[in-house]
Structure 1
Amino acid sequence: NIYLKYEPDIIHVHTEMPDFALWIFRKMAWTFWWIKPKYVRTIHSTQLWNSWKPLGRIIEPYYIKHKCNVAISSSTKECYEIAYGDSLPIIFNGLEEVPQKRFEGLIKGKVNVLFAGRFCPEKGIDTLLNVLKTMQDSEKYHFHIVGAGAYANEIRDFAKHNNRISVYDKIYGLSQYIGSFDFLFMPSRFEGLPLLSIEASLAHTPTIINRSPGLKDTFPIDWPLAVDNNSVEAFVDIFRNKLVDINYEQLADIAYKYAKDNFSIGKMQREYEAVYNLKIK
């Protein structure tokens, strides 16, 4: 009914359940010869169909056949090619700069570090805990941890005995406060293309990262606040040693320029419009 109401020239879907819904729609509508829209499909994750691998093996050949896949990062492109054998174009997601406000929970006299995300292994919450435990004698930093998930009780129990940690279920409008923090900490094991790190760069807040698929794509290849394999020792070395010697303003400017050049709304819009025009020619 929705298709008959709007009769779109192009249907743009995003992984994964919308992909499944469109595949079902096409299977049901193939006998109606006048229903022939074109498709564009954005792939947001480096790992597809995690709980439905057999379903993915059925559906992916359909989208490959119609040449409609677009990756959001070099990591999603690389992982898709390994999994399904098809090379994809890349269109980075775009973001606008958000006017910043001061976060009232900052601890004066400390270096305020933000972690925000699900409390799960994918986001490196276990690595965060190990870093906090290793650095529990440090007086320099205050960690602000925002989120919920399987590790919530463990995080909160640890925070009870450490006055250098604040835990929040959520901070409403977080993107407008990111610029208040000195650093963002992202020990993620994989991402599609994380918007949080881009938002931080646009707010001139440098991010300490695991050099993982998707996340590494949001910074220059030689980004100095990056570690391999979620090494707790390397993260601790950054906090205890490397942050002492960095030129903070210069690093923040490098991150801002990279985000501005690669992840603007206008750039994303122009590149998708070019894809749409090719489809309907």
Structure 2
Amino acid sequence: MESKSKLKKIKVLYIITKSNFGGAQRYIYDIATNLNKEIYEPVVALGGTGDKHAPQGVLQHMLEEKQIRIVPVLHFMRDMSFSEDITAFFELVRIIKKEKPDVLHVTSSKAGGLGALAGRIARVPCIIFTSHGLAYDEVWRPQWQRVLIWISSWCTMLLSTKTIQISEDTCRRAQRMPFLAHKIELIHNGINPPQYLPRYEARTFLDSQHEMLSTPWIGTLAELTSNKNLGILIDALALLHTEGIPAHLWLIGDGEKRNGLIEQASRCGLLNFVHLPGYLTNASCFLQAFDVFVLPSRKEGLPYVLLEAGYASLPVVVSNIPGVKDIVTHKKNGLAVEADARTFATAIARLLLDSTLRTSLSKALYNHVSDSFSIERMVQKTSALYT
């Protein structure tokens, strides 16, 4: 009996709202696939791609390829819906009671709140919540929504055994919330160095007509959502063109803002200079096609794509916001500036016109990322909370 108990694996049930492939989904994938399988049994419960009864997304297929068992949550939606969210909550209670996990690890706002409460009802002994940024920081929301989100975030962290914050700023602020100081842990995201296509190969893949291989390329990898604030990049590109810098802008990814970005590029007369190739599998392999990487987000947790840009030895222009500042220090290993078109245009132009600055900043960013953001460290610190 004693030997059998020693062989029993620790079952970890992960819960996430959507199964498309953004930062939160990558986090779950990296943790679940890098756990020691002799000790842990990972299972992932996930919703579809965001809409009601939407099909499962890329995350499900990637997990199945790694032989990670998945459990669909049929009523998870991206947007708030009282009836669907209540139904999803009771669905989670049933799933948790059936799975009987030793550890429940929830991530993202909706899966976090509903999952932590369901876990308490199902009497899961260890509930871990990973916060990818404090959702009430979304300043574009009405004040009443931000107050409700603050209360919801606080309740989720209070219900959880431990909460992982992935940036220093959000960690400090979460620790100041009532009754939470002892529940908050700082664990940065980490990655393995990606495999990159050489610059010429990456450019010829993206520019199959070979019409712009020798021009300056500015680029990012992102979901095309309001939070990513990508419209300012098109306005910044227009300013660069007025200064005689004929750069091209690449926005690799997909999302609900795609058509609006195309319309904006058309209004600016930049349709031939703004490129939206859509979602690309292993998009990070194309990063070395860019001369400058840009990230103008309004809010971030700790962005994986910025770690990938660091490993690609790219100079970066980024928003000066929490999460990003854990990776980029202004003028030390990148340019962290206010997220408006003119400021971004000025910073991009500075890098494009100064090769010495590009080289020094990109080298410093590579050194910082490779020294401080390994996937082994992330997984080790996270799994330590499971026992």
Asked whether the 8 Å contact 1:15–1:44 carries over to 2, the reply is yes
Asked whether the 8 Å contact 1:75–1:192 carries over to 2, the reply is no
Residue 128 of structure 1 pairs with residue 233 of structure 2:
yes
How far residue 140 of structure 1 moved from its aligned partner, in angstroms, is 4.2
- In terms of mean alpha carbon deviation, does 95-104 or 240-249 score higher? 240-249
How far residue 191 of structure 1 moved from its aligned partner, in angstroms, is 0.7
Residue type matched to 2:251 in 1? I
Q: Distance in 2 between matches of 1:246 and 1:85?
A: 50
Q: Distance in 1 between matches of 2:286 and 2:165?
A: 29
Asked whether the 8 Å contact 2:135–2:149 carries over to 1, the reply is no
Residue type matched to 2:111 in 1? P
Higher RCO structure (Cα 8 Å, ≥6 apart):
1
Q: Distance in 1 between matches of 2:386 and 2:121?
A: 24
Rate the CA distance shift 1:205–1:59 in 2: closer, same or farther, 3 A. Answer: closer
* Gaps in structure 1 of 5+ consecutive residues: 30-34
Residue 54 of structure 1 pairs with residue 174 of structure 2:
no
* 1:132-174 deviation line (CA, Å, top 9, x unaligned): 2212233442211234433334234247545333232333321
> Which of residues 97, 108, 119 is equivalent to 2:193?
97
Question: Counterpart of 1:133 in 2: which secondary structure?
Answer: helix
* 1:54-108 deviation line (CA, Å, top 9, x unaligned): 3762563463365411101113324535666744321011111121123222532
Match of 2:125 in 1: 37
Match of 1:17 in 2: 110
Question: Counterpart of 1:166 in 2: which secondary structure?
Answer: strand
Residue type matched to 2:135 in 1? Q
Match of 1:144 in 2: 250
Matched residues, number: 272
Q: Distance in 2 between matches of 1:223 and 1:158?
A: 36
How far residue 203 of structure 1 moved from its aligned partner, in angstroms, is 1.9
Match of 2:36 in 1: none
How far residue 246 of structure 1 moved from its aligned partner, in angstroms, is 4.3
- In terms of mean alpha carbon deviation, does 207-216 or 155-164 score higher? 155-164
Match of 1:228 in 2: 337
Q: Distance in 2 between matches of 1:36 and 1:143?
A: 48
Residue type matched to 1:141 in 2? A
* Gaps in structure 2 of 5+ consecutive residues: 1-93, 139-144
Give me the identity figure in percent. 19
Rate the CA distance shift 1:49–1:172 in 2: closer, same or farther, 3 A. Answer: same
How far residue 235 of structure 1 moved from its aligned partner, in angstroms, is 2.0
Residue type matched to 2:292 in 1? F
- In terms of mean alpha carbon deviation, does 220-229 or 254-263 score higher? 220-229
Match of 1:32 in 2: none
Q: Distance in 2 between matches of 1:190 and 1:111?
A: 27
Asked whether the 8 Å contact 1:135–1:236 carries over to 2, the reply is yes
- In terms of mean alpha carbon deviation, does 10-19 or 72-81 score higher? 72-81
- In terms of mean alpha carbon deviation, does 163-172 or 181-190 score higher? 163-172
* 1:214-247 deviation line (CA, Å, top 9, x unaligned): 2222224544642432243332222333442343
CA RMSD after TM alignment: 3.0
Q: Distance in 2 between matches of 1:139 and 1:240?
A: 8
- In terms of mean alpha carbon deviation, does 173-182 or 83-92 score higher? 83-92
Q: Distance in 2 between matches of 1:36 and 1:230?
A: 42
Asked whether the 8 Å contact 2:227–2:299 carries over to 1, the reply is yes
Rate the CA distance shift 1:7–1:185 in 2: closer, same or farther, 3 A. Answer: same
How far residue 254 of structure 1 moved from its aligned partner, in angstroms, is 1.4
Residue type matched to 2:189 in 1? N
* 1:187-223 deviation line (CA, Å, top 9, x unaligned): 1111111111111111222221111122222224544
Q: Distance in 2 between matches of 1:273 and 1:227?
A: 32
Q: Distance in 1 between matches of 2:321 and 2:161?
A: 27
Residue type matched to 2:368 in 1? Y
Match of 2:26 in 1: none
Q: TM-score, normalised by structure 2?
A: 0.61
Question: Counterpart of 1:184 in 2: which secondary structure?
Answer: strand
Q: Distance in 2 between matches of 1:157 and 1:86?
A: 49
Asked whether the 8 Å contact 1:188–1:210 carries over to 2, the reply is yes
Question: Counterpart of 2:386 in 1: which secondary structure?
Answer: helix
Match of 2:289 in 1: 180
Rate the CA distance shift 1:190–1:238 in 2: closer, same or farther, 3 A. Answer: same
Q: Distance in 1 between matches of 2:251 and 2:157?
A: 39
Residue 194 of structure 1 pairs with residue 303 of structure 2:
yes
Rate the CA distance shift 1:131–1:64 in 2: closer, same or farther, 3 A. Answer: same
Match of 2:213 in 1: 108
Q: Distance in 1 between matches of 2:117 and 2:382?
A: 25
Residue type matched to 1:20 in 2? G
Q: TM-score, normalised by structure 1?
A: 0.82
Q: Distance in 1 between matches of 2:159 and 2:274?
A: 51
Q: Distance in 1 between matches of 2:359 and 2:149?
A: 48
